[in-house]
């Protein structure tokens, strides 16, 4: 049986042309995707982007629930396979695979620019790990009666705040592993926690549709923001500590938004970002160096990642990660890169490109 190579030569089936073989491998790494670009003048362009896409060895063998950046090269992730994985997303290599939890990993919190991080799980446990240490947890924190759904490390790294579906927040001494404070609010099913930079305050979202600001000095509620119409799934705080964003559950475009809040004296709602069609699972402030205007990013169960103008609420760019299933977590990797965890396709590395305006490209997966 004969086939034709690039030179139109007829070759036997068992004989291959080296050039065609190389080109075949390169072609297999090209990924074609459709995305929508929102121009500043309000018009929307639909473009086909073709780019080199690198598929690395997978970090997990099942759904990835959460991903967080440890430093400018490494990320930490967890999922249904019960493992915590540190991964070099620049080279595509697993650095360390850690086992200790008995059920799915739900949250990861990193001490940035260090090798230390925390993991929470449906097994009700929180574990502290050290990348430079052994494969065993450095510290374990046991005190919740249900799945742990919130983790936040204090700016000085001396305290850890955990939250759960058991309606409680616990404040821990990281050094000793002892619980220092406990607080409980009826129907306060915690969905996420984050610590306000350079402040004693902890931001918390809940299934009761509210966002609470806690004072870690005594673990008391300092402020409750006006309740939303849907479950608040996630929150993030700006680097200067002046603003925060939360995001909502929803379906069919009802709910499915992110909301910007003022954390200073007024604590008013500033802006809303609407355009997703299913639950928004994650929202993050993007580095100021990334664009001329302040921007945020959201990821949703509708398989889309969106970049928004923080001030106007305009959607600047939408990237569809087709076949990924619900997008579960979003993290800033460096000044131009994002990491997006998914239900079906592991973790996707996304990169901001300014060659034709503000665009987001999928460049690798693992």
Rounded Cα distance between 200 and 264, Å, is: 14
Measured between alpha carbons, how far is 237 from 50 in angstroms, rounded to an integer? Answer: 34
- For residue 160, give the H/E element and its range: strand 159-164
- What pLDDT was estimated at residue 154? 97
| DSSP result, 77-120 | EEETTSEEEEEETTTTEEEEEEE--SS-EEEEEEETTTTEEEEE
Vertex 158: Cα angle to 184 and 144 (nearest 5): 30
Could you give the residue ranges of the DSSP H alpha helices within the chain?
18-28
pLDDT at res. 17: 54
pLDDT band at 113 (very low <50, low <70, confident <90, very high): confident
Measure the CA–CA gap between 168 and 148, rounded to whole angstroms: 10
Kindly report each contact of residues 91-98 with a partner whose C-beta sits within 8 Å and lies 24 or more positions away, as own/partner: 92/54, 92/56, 92/57, 92/364, 92/366, 93/56, 93/57, 94/57, 94/59, 95/131, 96/131, 96/135, 98/129, 98/135
Residue 114 has what pLDDT? 86
Place of tokens 């291959």: 16
Q: Is 27 helix (H, G, I), strand (E, B) or coil?
A: helix
Answer yes or no: is pLDDT of 202 > 90: yes
Q: What is the mean pLDDT of residues 235-241?
A: 97
Residue pLDDT, tens place only, 7-36 = 444 444 444 454 444 444 434 444 444 445
Count of residues making up the chain? 366
Predicted confidence (pLDDT) per residue in 40-94, tens digit: 444 444 444 445 789 999 999 999 999 999 999 999 999 999 999 999 999 999 9
Of the candidates 333, 339, 330, 302, the residue with the CA atom closest to the CA atom of residue 318: 302
Residues 301-323: b if buried by 16+ CB within 10 A, e if exposed: bbbbbbbbbbeebbbbbbbebee
Question: Could you tell me the strand order of the sheet in which 269-274 lies?
Answer: 232-237, 243-248, 257-262, 269-274
pLDDT digits (tens, 9 = 90+) for 268-323: 999 999 999 999 999 999 998 888 899 999 999 999 999 999 999 999 999 999 99
* 337-349: average pLDDT: 97
Q: Which residue in the block uniquely carries the two structure tokens 């918390």?
A: 204
Q: How far apart are CA 173 and CA 141, in angstroms?
A: 10
pLDDT at 326: 98
How far apart CA 168 and CA 11 sit, in angstroms, is 71
Higher-confidence residue of 3 and 136: namely 136
Q: Which domains does the chain have, with CATH numbers?
A: 75-325 (2.130.10.10)
Task: State the pLDDT at residue 51.
Answer: 57
Q: What is the pTM of this model?
A: 0.86
């Amino acid at each position: 049986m004969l086939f034709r190579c690039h030179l139109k030569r007829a070759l036997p089936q068992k004989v291959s042309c080296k050039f065609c073989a190389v080109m075949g491998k390169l072609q297999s790494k090209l990924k074609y995707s459709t995305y929508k670009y929102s121009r500043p003048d309000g018009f929307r362009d639909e473009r086909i982007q073709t780019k080199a896409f690198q598929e690395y060895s997978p970090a997990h063998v099942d759904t990835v629930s959460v991903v967080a950046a440890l430093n400018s090269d490494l990320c930490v992730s967890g999922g249904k396979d019960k493992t915590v994985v540190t991964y070099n997303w620049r080279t595509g290599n697993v650095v360390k695979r850690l086992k200790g939890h008995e059920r799915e990993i739900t949250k990861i919190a990193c001490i940035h620019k260090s090798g230390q991080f925390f993991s929470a799980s449906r097994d009700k446990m929180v574990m502290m790990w050290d990348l430079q240490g052994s494969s065993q947890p450095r510290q374990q924190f046991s005190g919740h009666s249900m799945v742990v759904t919130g983790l936040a490390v204090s700016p000085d790294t001396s305290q850890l705040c955990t939250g759960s579906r058991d309606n409680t927040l616990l404040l821990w001494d990281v050094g000793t592993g002892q619980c220092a404070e406990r607080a409980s609010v009826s129907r306060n099913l915690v969905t996420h926690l984050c610590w306000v930079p350079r402040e004693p305050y902890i931001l918390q979202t809940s299934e009761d549709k509210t966002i609470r600001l806690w004072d870690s000095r005594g673990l008391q509620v300092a402020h409750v923001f006006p309740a939303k119409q849907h479950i608040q799934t996630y929150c993030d705080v700006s680097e200067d500590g002046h603003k925060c964003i939360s995001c909502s559950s929803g379906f069919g475009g009802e709910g499915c938004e992110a909301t910007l809040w003022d954390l200073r004296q007024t604590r008013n709602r500033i802006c809303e970002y609407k355009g997703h069609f299913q639950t928004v699972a994650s929202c993050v402030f993007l580095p100021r160096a990334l664009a001329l205007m302040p921007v945020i990013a959201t990821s949703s169960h509708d398989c889309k990642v969106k970049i928004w103008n923080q001030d106007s609420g305009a959607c600047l760019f939408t990237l569809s990660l087709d076949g990924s299933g619900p997008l579960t977590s979003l993290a800033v990797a460096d000044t131009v890169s994002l990491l997006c965890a998914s239900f079906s396709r592991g973790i996707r590395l996304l990169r901001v490109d300014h060659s034709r305006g503000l665009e987001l490209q999928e460049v690798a997966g693992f």
